[in-house]
Structure 1
């Protein structure tokens, strides 16, 4: 492991708040690294050291929970590389176990991390495409205009025919009728007579309901549901964190998608300009006949 001078782990009483970041691109700036991890928590101090293949960084957070958040960004992409993010203590153990290890490379992603990164990339791509189309055709502006016109039309119709007032009167009449039925003596008597039968049926069905609730099949279904729910929540949370932290360029696939959409949206204008150029006759300067002496 590279030696850090500004932050000396040996002088710290506790190293649990340290994060070690490797495989940082030579083209990545110090500010980009700090900004990338800033949302994980308060960074008390940091040091970035140049190495043979780029940079390594040591970040000191205010609390260990911030470290737990930071390591979730392992294998995230900054500029042209996937960074490696580990707790400092883990890096020390690995360095001690393999002193002759080669230059660090990106570690394999977990299935959750891969899925979260994939979803985050697609969300970023979709947002970029949406902004491009909206900017080109003014979708948001037109939609807002339609909404405003619809409100004006609604208010105009309501004022002309008194729909709101009539609706309020009809609702009041229906509620009055419902109250009348509720307070009807015959209805009350029938409800009172049926109550014992309802209670008896409920009590008779209760043992069967309890047996079903505690059956092996239902327990397995519940366990499966809880596992799926937990996995979905895990992927969702990691996706949101990755998306929030990605202040970098789109992946090559995302950039290609955005470029394709932008080319398609600008094609009509290009075609119109070309058509106009071909139909406009070329103008040539008038020639003055030579004067004969």
Structure 2
């Protein structure tokens, strides 16, 4: 079970925070070390994740761009297998890979089409998207049950209407 990856070809212009934030999209980081390579103008990072699913996601990010360089991500130990025996709940690592890649893109990073295709293929193979949708649907159902039991929506609507009647909020509001 490998939770550690080595990232090479990182631009020397990329800060430690930028690189660490980039890999946080994959999941929780246990250890992180960024080293300036003596032989060239690149940096090297050792990233150890709490879960191996996060490391698997990180491996898919080879050829992503951090700063002005395409990075290479490989396992720290090529002989280790990737069985996830962890029961820890790391929401980021259990998200669909396509969702993680969307977050990375939204944060302003650049990914190649091949990386996105790998993520979508991984999700369809292992069904993480369906699992995540079911999880969200269960949360939504639980919230609906709580609302029906405690009548939160009804109470809030009634209070808002009472406040509006008392202070004429809607009549006094200026719409832009």
Q: TM-score, normalised by structure 2?
A: 0.47
Structure with higher helix content: 1
Choose between structure 1 and 2: higher strand proportion. Answer: 2
With normalisation by structure 1, the TM-score equals: 0.29
Instruction: Point out the structure with max Rg over C-alpha.
Output: 1
